[in-house]
Amino acid sequence: MDFFSKGAALIGKLKIIFSDIKIQHTVFALPFAVMSAFLATEGLPEWETLGWILLAMFGARNAAMAFNRMVDAKLDARNPRTQNRALPAGEVTLAQYSMFLLVSSALLVWSSYMLNPLAFYLSPLALAIVFFYSITKRFTAWSHVYLGFALACAPVGAWVAVKAEISLVSLILGAAVVFWLTGFDIIYSCLDVESDHKNQVYSVPKRFGVDRALKIAYAAHGIMIVFLFGMLWHPALGALYVLGVIGVSGLLVYEHSLVKNDDLSKVNFAFFNVNGIISIGLMCVVIVDCIWI
């Protein structure tokens, strides 16, 4: 009975942690890793390779978010939007989060080892990149760009997993991810501008004001579209992909129409729902184009 109660307690803590790190937000980076794998293969990747890529992404994202929650625990406690997160609320301990971080990091390294030597050698660097994001907001307003750079590891890493190389295609797709993430993270951070001022946290909305920050986000999304069209020279992409990018452009315009300088009430909808549709929709378009070339 004691064994079962401990198991139930462990599952309960895991549920809290997965809820705390917003496991559903994996929808942002994961589709770009999948589409990169299809582009690298120019067709359907081997199921085993795809499975290890998914496990590596799962481990990397969980490790990055766990590190973020641990490093930001004191800041989160002072921010009304985040003070109910698991660590400041006392729902889990730092030791429990540390164990989750270690297991998630090990999952990334192990999955990379199962893919190929280059993926394995680069896995510690990938962890260092995603961990460092949590430090950047303490010294630069452009932490949003670095977060985009961290998520761009997804398509670049997936290409490495399939081809054991870093290609121009994966870098262009990664650049699109950088500017996409930069834009919508700036929008999301507008919710914290008052807290950022109080707690000496750096951000674009804090430095430039909400109105100018939204314009910067719009410009970032425009650059994303340029990079997406820059993918067209890949032989697997055609008319369907063009329609997909046009659709992404329309969704980004819609996203920005939801958020106003004096009305941030729809930021959460713009942040998750619209961007979730963008990432999944673009992934589906790329997969279909790759399969039907």
What is the CATH number for 18? 1.10.357.140
Kindly tell me the burial class for residue 4, based on how many C-beta atoms sit within 10 Å of its own C-beta (0-12, 13-18, 19 or more): exposed
Dist CA 126 CA 143 (whole Å):
17
Return the SS3 of 78: coil
Longest dimension (CA), the chain: 61
pLDDT tens for each residue of 222-240: 999 999 999 998 999 999 9
Q: Do residues 53 and 115 lie in contact, with contact meaning Cβ atoms separated by under 8 Å?
A: yes
CB neighbourhood size of 293 (10 A): 12
Q: Quick one: pLDDT at residue 271?
A: 80
Dist CA 108 CA 57 (whole Å):
7
Kindly tell me the burial class for residue 54, based on how many C-beta atoms sit within 10 Å of its own C-beta (0-12, 13-18, 19 or more): middle
Q: How far is CA 202 from the centre of its chain?
A: 20
pLDDT tens for each residue of 234-269: 999 999 999 999 999 999 999 999 999 888 899 988
Q: Domain residues for 243?
A: 2-291
pLDDT tens for each residue of 185-211: 999 999 999 998 888 899 999 999 999
Q: Which residue from 162, 278, 292, 178 is spatially nearest to 237, judged by alpha carbons?
A: 292
Specify the pTM: 0.93
Q: Which residue from 147, 151, 155, 139 is spatially nearest to 187, judged by alpha carbons?
A: 147
In order of 103, 112, 115, 153, the CA distances from 119 in angstroms are 18, 5, 7, 11
Q: How many domains does the chain have?
A: 1
pLDDT tens for each residue of 171-180: 999 999 999 9
The pair of structure tokens assigned to 104 is 């998630």
Residue with tokens 């942690």: 17
Return the SS3 of 173: helix
Dist CA 195 CA 78 (whole Å):
8
Q: Which residue from 250, 259, 258 is spatially nearest to 282, judged by alpha carbons?
A: 250
Helix/strand/coil (H/E/C) assignment for every residue in 176-223: HHHHHHHHHHHHHHHHHHHHHHHHCCCCHHHHHCHHHHHHHHHHHHHH
Q: Which residue from 125, 119, 129 is spatially nearest to 52, judged by alpha carbons?
A: 119
The pair of structure tokens assigned to 46 is 């081997």
pLDDT tens for each residue of 141-187: 999 999 999 999 999 999 999 999 999 999 999 999 999 999 999 99
pLDDT tens for each residue of 75-106: 999 988 899 999 999 999 999 999 999 999 99
